[in-house]
Amino acid sequence: MKRTRQQKGYVYKKGNNWMLRYYDNQELPDGSIIRVQKSIKLTEAVGDYRTKTAAQSLADEQLERVNQSRNTPNNVMRLESLVEKLYLPSVEAQKRVSTFHAYRNIWKCYLKPHGDVVTRDFTTMDGERILNEIAIKHKVGTRTLQHVKAFMSGVFRYAKRQGLIRSSNPMRDTVLPAARAAAETYAYSSEEIALMLKVLPEPAATVVAAAAYTGARKGEIRGFRWEDYNGEQLRITQAYWRDHLQEPKTRKSCAPVPVIRQLAEHLDAHRARQGNPESGLMFKSVTGNAIDIDSLAADVIRPAFNQCGLTWHGWHAFRRGLATTLHRLGVSDETIQRVLRHSNVSVTQSCYIKTADSDAVAAMRRLENAPNMHPTRVKRPSPRWTCRHTETTRVFARASYKD
């Protein structure tokens, strides 16, 4: 087997700097890869690097990645080529269509202008620089920066699996720049939901009841079917994203949801209005397709809310509202996790259970009235006076308090 020759490069002095000349692969705009000669600055010829031998050690470090890439020319692929030719097609083939569109939007909106960097040469410093530039240019919040970082981390995990990089993931140790905090999310209260069901016409009232009393996601509500409902529980078997029918988000998302009496009454009346179908979508548009509940919110729900003083906070606020209401009723977080069908209870605790202000006030009142918050009052001792005599004068001095 022919052994690949490892190049040493040529170290030379230019002015007061040590330079390195070497050969490397380079990707052309059409995607082809050619061999070119390059010259870069290593360091200034001062201090520990006064000699050529010392500069050669830096050259060896620089050339290590170059020599490794000779058997895998693709690792000089630019970040843009890696994402658009390899990574996004892989995501499209393996992930949900909604996930693919979200990833593609992150790339196009924030990262594509930074796509000229060579994948092999991308460092943690590059990652932090890009995140800082995005924060300044787009004025995005912390949550968006977290999504961007997660996307980039996924790109380099993929590159490592494909042998395009041999180093650790450069995004792993990046630190997010200072940015505005994410806005606080909202959870509908049971009182708000009761008022909604009084003022909304059908079928909007039944759709809202389904969202409020199942905690289902927006796409799952659009996919509700009569054959998955038996009067006591509702199985989650499908979900819609735009016009795309897909499986539920996770394996745990397929768990059945208990149906309480208040929701059953709405669903049974809604079924009767449809002619008591045995199968098919619960909530259909006039064309027979899955209802567009965003349009329902804009055309029906918002106008009704404006007339009665309610504020629309989006469909996900029903999911948070159910978690918060159950928590206030004393239901354990693990049980709430099963109701919402989360994969991890920490997601339920950190993102969905909202402690209302009234809960905080009640907690502080309990502290205020706790027995150990009223200790027996201790009487302060009165000061003692002592006298010191001399032959000619009498001096009075105040002594310190005893403990």
Q: Which of 2, 126, 1, 9 is nearest to 67 (CA)?
A: 9
Which residues, other chains included, contact 252 with Cβ-Cβ below 8 Å and sequence gap of 6+?
341, 342, 343
Intervals of the chain under pLDDT 70: 1-5, 31, 65, 68-75, 347, 349-365, 367-368, 372-403
pLDDT for 401: 40
CA 364, 369, 373, 379 torsion-angle sign? positive
Secondary structure letter of residue 2 according to DSSP? P
DSSP codes of every residue in 351-386? II----HHHHHHHHHHHHT-GGGSPPPPPPPPPPEE
CA gap 260, 34 in Å, rounded: 67
Reported as a single tens digit per residue, the pLDDT across 165-193 is 878 899 999 999 998 887 788 999 999 99
Domains of the chain: 10-71 (no CATH), 79-161 (1.10.150), 190-352 (1.10.443.10)
Burial-class residue 220 by CB neighbours within 10 Å (0-12, 13-18, 19+).
Answer: buried
pLDDT given at position 387: 47
- Round to whole Å and give the CA distance between 305 and 312: 7
Tell me the HSE value of 276 on the side-chain side, using a 13 A CA sphere: 0
Write down the pLDDT at residue 333: 85
Distance of CA 204 to the CA centre of its chain: 31
- In this structure, what token pair is assigned to residue 200? 């909304």
Segment 246-259, tens digit of pLDDT: 988 887 788 889 99
21 pairs with which residues across the strands? 10, 39
Q: Would strands 244-246 and 239-241 be described as parallel, antiparallel, or unpaired?
A: antiparallel
pTM for the full model? 0.70
What is the structure's pLDDT at 220?
94
Q: Helix (H) and strand (E) counts for the chain?
A: 16, 9
Alpha-carbon distance of 68 to 51, in angstroms, equals: 27
DSSP assignment of 132-196 equals HHHHHHH--BHHHHHHHHHHHHHHHHHHHHTTS--S--TTTT--PPP-BPPPPP----HHHHHHH
Which residues are bridge partners to 239 per DSSP? 246
Listed residue (160, 192, 196, 188) closest to 314, CA to CA: 188
Query: How far is CA 190 from each of CA 213, 305, 330, 391, rounded to the nearest angstrom?
Result: 10, 16, 15, 86
Instruction: Give the model's pLDDT for residue 170.
Output: 94
Spatial separation of the C-alpha atoms in residues 64 and 61, rounded to whole Å:
5
Answer whether 159's CB lies under 8 Å from 206's CB: no
Q: How many CA atoms lie within 13 A of 362 on its CB side?
A: 6
